[in-house]
Every structure is written in C-alpha cells, then in structure tokens.
Chains A and B, each alone.
Chain A
Amino acid sequence: MQRKTKFFISLIGLVFTTFLFSGCSFALPGLSTNSDENTISIAGGASTESQITGGLVKGMIEHYTDKKVNVINNLGTTTVIHQAMMNQDVSISSIRYTGTDLTGTLKLDPEKDPGKAFTIVKKAFEKRYDQTWFPSYGFANTYTFMVTKETAKKYNLKKISDLKKVADQLTAGVDTSWMNREGDGYKAFSEEYGVDFKKVYPMQIGLVYDAVHAGKMDVVLGYSTDGRIASYDLVMLEDDMKFFPPYDASIVASNTILKKNPELKAIFKKLEGTISTKEMQKLNYEVDNNLLEPDIVATKFLEEHHYFEKGDEK
C-alpha cells in the first residue's frame, strides 16, 4: 500500500508540474506553437509549391538562427493566408505571387510588366499592411503555352507569336476557367496575338500536361512550374508580347517580425533569385511524382546548396 501511495502522489505531482511548467506561457515542451516568443510562424499554403517554399524558409531560419519555426500548412487561398498574417497568427508567408496579390488582395488593376507589378505590390503592402515583399525567388508561376519537343521542332515554335502561322492546324487544351475569362482569357489572347486555334478544348488544368504528352492535343495552356513539364520534356513558348500578367513568387514578412529579428532580412535575401522556373519544376516533380514530402525536398535542396552560405552561389 505504501508504495502505491507514493507512486500515486508522485504521478499527480508530475502531472501538476507539467501543467504549471507549460500552462503559464502556453508553450508546451516538444511542440512549437505560434504564441511563443521564440517561435516564428510561417504560412505554408495548400499547393505543393507553397509547401516546398515553406520548408525552404523554415530550413533557412533554423540554420542561421536558434529560433524555432512553426509552419502552418493547408491554408487554402491567398486570402486566407493574408487574413492569417493580419491576425498575426503567422508573420511570414513563404510564397506570394505578385499577380494574385495585385488584383486579389489589393484590388488594383492588373499590371503586365513584372518589375512594375512588383514595385506596386511592394509599396502598397508597406503602406497598407506594414509588410515587406522580398525580391522574387527567381521563378514565376504563370500561365504558359507548351508543346511537345517534336511539335516544337516540326513547326519551329519558340514564342507564342510563332503559333500565328500554324494555329489553324493545331488543337489546343486550356483551363476551363481561362476559356471565358474577361481581360486575359482566350478571347483577349486571340485578339492580341492573332492566334485562332483549329479547336479549343476546355479541360481541368491538371489534365493538360498528360493530354499534350499523349498527343491528344497539340498545344496546351498550363502552369509554368508544374513538375510534369520537366518530366515530359515539354517546351514552353515564350510570351513575347507579355500578354499574361506576371506571377513572380516572393517571400512576404510582417515588419513587426523583421524589427524583432533583424537578421531575417539577410537570410531571406540569400534566397533571392536562387530558384529558376526549371528548378521549381524539378522540385515540384520530386513531390508530385516521386512521393517525397515537400519538407524533405526543401531540406535536400538547401543541403545541396549549403544553405547559400556563400553569397556567390546563386
């Protein structure tokens, strides 16, 4: 009986100390939470790309500082991520696209020049939300026309305007929502480039890569960073008339966290221009096709590049 009582009292004592230890600051041992002073929270998003970049930012911060990082994944849309930043649930977005935030969050007119778009977004975010946009990772996830290597060779296609002469022999597969969109949809595109395909098939965006690879379509419109572009060896046609708005990918951070941790600025600057669109395709491919977790892919990428310790390794 004696031993049992002792055991029992010590158990209760243990429970209580754990409670007291953790209860006051609500930072529980072993768990990184976003209400902890020493923790930086990052919004990860739901897409493969956003989770990879989430892993990149996490890896960089953990490598260069002794802060703990808490990644909040599965935030569905830019609106949700923006809301989370405004509520200070998170202080850093691992990936934001200039085009999306320009028309979505800021509700401004679309701007086709990437440089200008970035400047507008950067200034507006500084003023309206007290947040800083860092220079782009080096890739843009925009709409792009693509063809197989054979088709490109056959018709000698490099730019979208090359399609003009041969468009009446080609079938095209495009995103359903793009088909009827005002402003930068098919109608506007057709007028701007003077390209009118033999037939245009609206389809779900995820299917276009397989459709062109299988030869069901000649030309398709897809996202420029999708992993399947690399794996199917598709040729992206250059948007030489700058029709599609730019979706350059950047890190966005709240100024509060930057003031608290001034070293973050230099860390994020290291990532500037390090990932080309091709590179991002490869990373996406690793996740979507090779069953790797985004977090693992990000860590591997950082280790390969030695966490960009030397500035000249870009």
Chain B
Amino acid sequence: MQNMNLLQQFIYYFQQNGSYVFSQFVRHFLISAYGVLFAAVIGIPIGIMISRRKKIASWVIGAANVIQTVPSLAMLSILMLALGLGVNTVIVTVFLYSLLPILSNTYTGMRQVDDVALDVGKGMGMTKFQRLYLIELPLSISVIMAGVRNALVVAIGITAIGSFVGAGGLGDIIIRGTNATNGTAIILVGALPTAFMAIFVDWLLGIVERRMDPASKGKR
C-alpha cells in the first residue's frame, strides 16, 4: 500500500470497505436525525406555547441557552454516567443541543406573524386551531425549518464525537485512522462523508423548506 498515493489509497479503501462505510454512514445519519426529530417533536409545540406566554418564554429559552453552553464532549461524558455507553447517550445529547435552535426559531417565527393576518382570520370566524394551522404555521414555517436545518447540521458534527462513547458512526472510522500508522486516507474516508452528509442534508431541507413556504408558491 505504500506505493499508492493518497488519492489511490482513498479510492482503494472505498472499494474494499464500501459496505462498511455505508452502514456507518446510515448509522451516523440515523443517530443525528432521531435526536433532531425528538427535539422537533418536543421543541416546536413548546415554542408555539411560549410564543403565547411571553413571561415563560424568557425562562424556557434561557434554560435552552444554558444547555447550549456546555461543551459537547462534556455533555456526552455527563450523560454517559447516567445512560451508559452507546447510541442512546448520543441521541439524548443531540436532542439537547437541537432544542435551542428549534425552540427559539419557532418562537421567533410565531411572533413575527402579522397581527393583521390573525385578525383577518378571526374575522372570518376561524377557530384558534384553524388560525394556528392555516395562518401562523404556514407563515412561520420557513423560520422553523431554518432552525431544524441548523440543528441537524450541528447534530451531524456532535454524532462524530459520539464515537467516544461507543455509538459508532463515521467517527469510528476517523478514530481508527488516527490510531493507524498510515491513516491519512482512513481519516479522510471518515471525515469527507461526514462533511458531505451535513451539506447534503442542509440542501435537502432547504428544498423542503421552500416547498412548504407559501410565499414561494407563486414563484414556482
């Protein structure tokens, strides 16, 4: 292998270990996605709730802010004490880090909805529920989705560190590369798909966001 240059090694590695890299890629993505999914399921309703009650809002967002300040490696270690090794610890970590962007974006999104539009809805005889689904959410969806995108990109980075608590994923390949005597190619094989995943997911969610945004409907 010594007579190959880096690019050849890189390609050779992919040829030989393609199935393994792919399975780790999927695993990596699932860990990140589940964490963000749970954060969205919990964060968006809470964000909607606190947009109605300004007093609680500063508290809730403040708490999410505090979580965000903890370094990710420290967070993983702390959670590991309670949850043990493995995937769950990383998912919970991703969940905690995703809360703030999703929460605060939902909050901002809901607040920036024009009061006039809401009044019109009321005047048309819409119920509270209808106003939420037909006016507020469609108008704020692009801001909320921006939060989810942000969270998912950060999550992919955190999951790479998650290898240290035995969660697997592409971080495993990176760590193995750092341990190997001639591991530059292996490190790249782990690192490049991680970066690619972040960019791809961001792009994909960007499309979803534009689809869901009523403002862009006319332009299509």
Listed in ascending order, the chain A residues whose CB lies under 8 Å from chain B are 1, 4-5, 8-9, 15-16, 18-19, 22, 26, 28, 30-35, 41, 44, 46-48, 51, 70-75, 84, 87-90, 206, 288-296
Complex A-B: 15 CB contacts under 8 Å = A16-B41, A26-B88, A28-B87, A31-B87, A33-B86, A72-B86, A72-B166, A74-B164, A84-B84, A291-B16, A291-B17, A292-B16, A294-B176, A295-B20, A296-B20
Residues of A close to B172: CB separation below 8 A: 73-74
User: Which of B34, B173, B185 has most chain A Cβ within 10 Å?
Assistant: B34
Please tell me if the beta carbons of A296 and B16 are within 8 angstroms of each other in the complex.
Answer: yes
CB proximity of A103 to chain B, nearest CB, Å:
24
Known: A73-B166, A74-B166. A8 touches B20 (CB 8 A): no
The 8 closest A-B pairs by CB, nearest first: A72-B166, A89-B84, A89-B85, A34-B86, A293-B17, A293-B20, A33-B87, A291-B13
User: Which of A15, A30, A293, A294 has most chain B Cβ within 10 Å?
Assistant: A293
- Decide yes or no whether B19 CB sits under 8 A from chain A: yes
Residues of A close to B41: CB separation below 8 A: 15-16, 19
> Nearest CB to that of A286 among chain B residues?
B16
> Nearest CB to that of B4 among chain A residues?
A291
Bound: A238/B20 CA distance, A: 38
Q: Is the interface of A mostly helix, strand, loop or mixed?
A: mixed
CB proximity of B214 to chain A, nearest CB, Å:
7
Please tell me if the beta carbons of B166 and A75 are within 8 angstroms of each other in the complex.
Answer: yes
Please tell me if the beta carbons of A31 and B27 are within 8 angstroms of each other in the complex.
Answer: yes
Docked complex: B1-50 residues within 8 A CB-CB of A? 1, 9, 12-13, 16-17, 19-21, 26-27, 30-31, 34, 37-38, 40-41
Listed in ascending order, the chain B residues whose CB lies under 8 Å from chain A are 1, 9, 12-13, 16-17, 19-21, 26-27, 30-31, 34, 37-38, 40-41, 84-88, 91, 133-134, 137-138, 163-164, 166, 168, 172-173, 175-176, 179-181, 185-186, 212, 214
Residues of A close to B87: CB separation below 8 A: 28, 31-34, 70
> Nearest CB to that of B217 among chain A residues?
A4
A1's contact among B9, B26, B134, B168, by CB below 8 Å, is which?
Answer: B134
Known: A5-B133, A31-B30, A33-B86. A288 touches B180 (CB 8 A): yes
Residues of A close to B17: CB separation below 8 A: 291-293, 296
> Nearest CB to that of A292 among chain B residues?
B16
Please tell me if the beta carbons of B1 and A34 are within 8 angstroms of each other in the complex.
Answer: no
Please tell me if the beta carbons of B179 and A46 are within 8 angstroms of each other in the complex.
Answer: yes
User: Which of A51, A71, A74, A288 has most chain B Cβ within 10 Å?
Assistant: A74
A296's contact among B19, B31, B133, by CB below 8 Å, is which?
Answer: B19
CB proximity of B167 to chain A, nearest CB, Å:
8
> Nearest CB to that of A84 among chain B residues?
B85
Please tell me if the beta carbons of A4 and B214 are within 8 angstroms of each other in the complex.
Answer: yes
Please tell me if the beta carbons of A8 and B86 are within 8 angstroms of each other in the complex.
Answer: no
User: Which of B12, B17, B26 has most chain A Cβ within 10 Å?
Assistant: B17
Residues of B close to A18: CB separation below 8 A: 37
Residues of B close to A72: CB separation below 8 A: 85-86, 166, 168
Other than A15-B40, A46-B175, A293-B173, give 5 A-B pairs with Cβ distance below 8 A: A19-B37, A19-B41, A26-B88, A31-B27, A206-B181
Known: A26-B88, A288-B180. A71 touches B16 (CB 8 A): no
CB proximity of B142 to chain A, nearest CB, Å:
14
Bound: A26/B30 CA distance, A: 14
CB proximity of A1 to chain B, nearest CB, Å:
7
> Nearest CB to that of A295 among chain B residues?
B20
B30's contact among A5, A28, A73, A293, by CB below 8 Å, is which?
Answer: A28
Bound: A87/B87 CA distance, A: 16
> Nearest CB to that of A9 among chain B residues?
B133
